[in-house]
Structure formats: C-alpha cells, structure tokens
C-alpha cells in the first residue's frame, strides 16, 4: 500500500515518528532472534547433526552404564541437561548474543585434541539467520509505514 502526504512537512513528521519507534522495533526483533537461536541450539543437544562423528564406543558404553543413553539413542552432548540448560540469550536493540558459560560447551563446540567438534551454537545461528533477517525487515517496514513495532 502506498501512503501519500499532503506536504514535505507531513512526510518529515511521519519519518520523525517512525525514527522514534525504530529502537523499540530493533529491540523486539533482536529479542525474538536471540530466542530463536537459543531454542534451536537447545533442540540440537541430544541429536546428531550433519558432519558430526559418532560418539566413541567407550563413551556410548559409559553413557548407557550411567543411564544417559539406551540401545536406540546415545544422545550426543546430552547427559543431565545441565549443558543444554546453560545456553542463554541476551539482546539489545543493536544485536544479540547466544552462548554458554559452561566450559564443556566450548570444548564441544570447537573440539579439543581428544574431542571432535560437535557445534550447536554456530549452526543454530546459521539455520535461523534467514528467518530472523526476514522478520526484522518486516518489522522495520511496518514501523516505517506507521504500523508500529
């Protein structure tokens, strides 16, 4: 829908109102984006992802012995759920961060000399980025055309 203005002054006032609403639009969009990445990352824990090497048989045996895996699923990266639950998100109007303060998450994400990388954070951002960008674009367009945040 095309909007017309009676004067350049009316257009300028509309743009000023939109500019005042943009920070709230950005903040809401970043909060939603952070939540999407966080949810995606948490959902990946316990499931093999593309490119992951299988767990070592000794690891699978230990997980089964401790009750963290069964004959059908060895639940990669999942034991107690503590690492999964450590994934947190923070957002501002300028961006967001999704991560964990759990050292084990760093080792799993990047790998070590003894553990192959099994990333969940980076692939989660990559998987959700197109939808986040599209939603941000829609929110900005709505704000600029007077539809609010």
Inside any domain, residue 1? no
Among the ranges 1-10, 14-23, 89-98, which has the highest mean pLDDT value? 89-98
Asked, for residue 58, whether it belongs to a domain, the answer is yes
State pLDDT tens for residues 48-78.
999 999 999 999 999 999 999 998 899 999 9
Domain that holds residue 69: 8-144
Alpha-carbon gap, residue 9 to 123, rounded angstroms: 47
Whether 59 is in a domain gets the answer yes
Mean of pLDDT over the chain: 92
Give CA 113 to chain center in angstroms.
Answer: 27
Q: Is there a domain that residue 3 lies in?
A: no
Number of domains in the chain: 1
pLDDT for res 113:
95
Q: CA nearest 118: which of 60, 64, 51, 58?
A: 51
């Amino acid at each position: 829908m095309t909007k017309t203005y009676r004067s350049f002054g009316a257009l300028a006032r509309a743009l000023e109102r939109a500019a005042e609403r943009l920070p709230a639009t950005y903040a809401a969009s970043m909060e939603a984006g952070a939540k999407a990445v966080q949810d995606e990352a948490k959902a990946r824990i316990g499931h093999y992802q593309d490119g992951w090497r299988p767990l070592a048989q000794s690891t699978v045996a230990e997980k089964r012995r401790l009750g963290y895996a069964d004959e059908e699923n060895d639940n990669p990266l999942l034991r107690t759920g503590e690492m999964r639950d450590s994934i947190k998100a923070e957002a501002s109007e300028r961006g967001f961060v999704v991560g964990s303060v759990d050292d084990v998450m760093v080792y799993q994400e990047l790998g070590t000399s003894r553990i192959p990388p099994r990333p969940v954070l980076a692939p989660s951002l990559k998987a959700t980025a197109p939808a986040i960008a599209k939603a941000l674009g829609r929110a900005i367009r709505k704000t600029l055309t007077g539809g609010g945040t």
